[in-house]
């Protein structure tokens, strides 16, 4: 009868009415964007897609994808550049085309990119007056299409200088909580004619309108500006001389981990820290003579869990850069990819699939590359609010 709703065929109804089969179908859609569209069908499908156990399984089957990377040069105030990954699946390529990857300006000025975290880009802008540094941070959401919702400006942080001391280096860390984000700003200060350094950690918890000094610790070891530190399990891990410094943000204590035998930190970028996907363990990535080693620290010991031989994979690139050294620029949190520098080229190593490809080559007027910040697709996805018309199964 015309205008009368037609029932689905019996075979389709039998499948879609089976909760287990429906869940098995939805978990195989492949991308978070497809999962959001599936959740928009009706409240019943939304209930499956947003269930905690379902989302954990979906993430195991379809880990967050790398959409591209920023190259942030240190010498220029507005030099952030985003490069999408090549050969993205069409669905993810469409996401990249719709996004706005240039961070929004605030107070009429652009700022340095200082990190990427779960679909967001962190920037900072610094100003100096007399003996005070003022830092203003912002969180940008390139995948958010509503302009007014794309940027959150954080409260400013003021740091005072003192005679006979110098800030050796700084780093911003962010941590996603159930109700928002918390931030930790680490400064490492050298004191003239004194051994070691002082480490200061400032904290901005979700909902706070001012930064506060969370802890101050002294170390006889000198923390290295490179490689970058990592934060997980309320601890900051830093490279320092021949060891790793651990700043326990909960207990306010400082401890160290010795490096594996034959491994050291230096300015040539041969060693970098990483963390497991679930934040449970620490990894160390080391490169030596075209061999990349992945070390796992667990139970107080180091275990060599993987070795990637780069000699054959680098053969084509060595023709252009026969004398170039290889250094590590950035390591992904999931131990799935590593960004390497070889001469004037940036190489992307897929650890799981053992593939290496060139993703960027420096221009003639570039003296050095700068820092690479990979941009991952956000997780978990933001599900739609269904209208009453779609609430029925």
Give percent helix, percent strand, percent coil of the chain, each to the nearest 5: 15, 45, 40
Tell me, what's the pLDDT at 250?
Answer: 93
At 95 the pLDDT is: 92
Beta strands 253-258 and 120-129 are unpaired
pLDDT at site 1: 44
- Grouping H, G, I as helix, E, B as strand and the rest as coil, residue 20 is helix
Alpha carbon 9 to its chain's center:
46
CB atoms within 10 A of CB 68: 21
Q: For the chain, give every domain's residue range.
A: 15-57, 63-102+110-376
Judge contact between 268 and 325, C-beta under 8 A: yes
Residue-wise pLDDT for 318-357, tens only, equals 666 655 688 899 998 766 899 999 888 899 999 988 999 9
Q: What is the pLDDT of residue 58?
A: 94
Give bridge partners of residue 258 from the DSSP assignment: 243
DSSP string, 237-302: EEEETTEEEEEETTTTEEEEEEPPTT----TT--EEEEE-TTS--EEEEEEETTEEEEEEEETTEE
Averaged pLDDT, 154-161:
87
Residue 84 to residue 161: CA distance in whole angstroms: 40
As given in the structure block, the two tokens for residue 160 are 């005072």
Taking a C-beta distance cutoff of 8 angstroms, is the pair 198, 186 a contact? no
For residue 189, which phi and psi values (nearest 5 degrees)? -115, 130
Give the confidence band of 127 by pLDDT, cuts at 50, 70, 90: confident
Nearest residue to 271 (alpha-carbon basis) of 314, 227, 303, 232: 227
Q: What mean pLDDT, rounded, does the chain reach?
A: 84
Q: Side by side, which strands form the sheet with 337-342? A: 326-331, 337-342, 345-350, 355-361
Number of residues in the chain: 393
CB atoms within 10 A of CB 123: 24
Hey, what are 393's tokens?
Answer: 């199964």
Pairing, β 157-160 against β 132-140: antiparallel
Of all residues in the chain, what percent carry a pLDDT higher than 70? 83
Q: What is the pLDDT of residue 63?
A: 87
Q: Which CATH class is domain 63-102+110-376?
A: mainly beta
Q: How far, in Å, are 237, 266, 289, 328, 359 from residue 257 at the CA level? A: 9, 16, 25, 21, 34
Q: Which pTM value belongs to this model?
A: 0.87
């Amino acid at each position: 009868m015309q205008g009368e709703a037609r029932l689905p065929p019996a075979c389709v109804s039998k499948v879609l009415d089976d909760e287990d089969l429906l869940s098995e179908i939805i978990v195989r859609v492949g991308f978070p964007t497809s999962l959001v569209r599936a959740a928009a069908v009706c409240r019943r499908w939304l209930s499956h897609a947003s269930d905690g156990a379902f989302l954990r399984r979906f993430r195991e089957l379809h880990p967050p994808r790398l959409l591209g990377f920023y190259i942030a040069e240190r010498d220029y105030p507005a030099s952030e550049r985003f490069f999408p990954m090549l050969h993205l699946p069409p669905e993810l390529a469409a996401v990249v085309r719709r996004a706005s990857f240039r961070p929004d300006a605030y107070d009429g000025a652009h700022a340095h990119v200082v990190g990427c975290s779960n679909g967001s880009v962190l920037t900072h802008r610094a100003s100096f007056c007399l003996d005070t540094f003022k830092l203003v941070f912002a969180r940008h959401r390139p995948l958010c299409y509503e302009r007014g919702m794309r940027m959150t400006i954080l409260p400013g942080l003021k740091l005072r200088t003192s005679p006979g001391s110098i800030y050796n280096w700084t780093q911003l860390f962010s941590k996603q909580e159930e109700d928002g984000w918390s931030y930790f700003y680490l400064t490492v200060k050298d004191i003239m004619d004194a051994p070691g350094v002082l480490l200061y950690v400032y904290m901005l918890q979700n909902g706070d309108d001012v930064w506060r000094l969370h802890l101050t610790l002294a170390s006889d070891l000198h923390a290295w500006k490179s490689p970058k530190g990592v934060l997980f399990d309320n601890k900051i891990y830093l490279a320092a001389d021949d060891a790793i410094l651990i700043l326990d943000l909960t207990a306010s204590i400082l401890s160290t981990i010795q490096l594996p035998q034959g491994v050291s930190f230096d300015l040539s970028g041969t060693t970098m820290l990483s963390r497991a996907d679930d934040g449970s363990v620490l990894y160390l990535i080391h490169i030596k003579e075209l061999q990349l080693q992945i070390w796992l620290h667990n139970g107080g010991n180091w275990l060599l869990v993987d070795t990637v031989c780069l000699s054959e994979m680098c053969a084509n690139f060595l023709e252009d850069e026969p004398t170039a050294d290889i250094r590590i620029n950035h390591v992904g949190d999931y131990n799935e990819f590593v960004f390497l520098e070889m001469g004037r080229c940036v190489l992307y190593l897929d650890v799981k699939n053992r593939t290496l490809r060139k993703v960027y080559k420096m221009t003639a007027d570039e003296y050095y590359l700068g820092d690479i910040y990979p941009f991952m697709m956000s997780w978990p996805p933001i599900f739609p609010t269904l209208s009453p018309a779609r609430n029925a199964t």
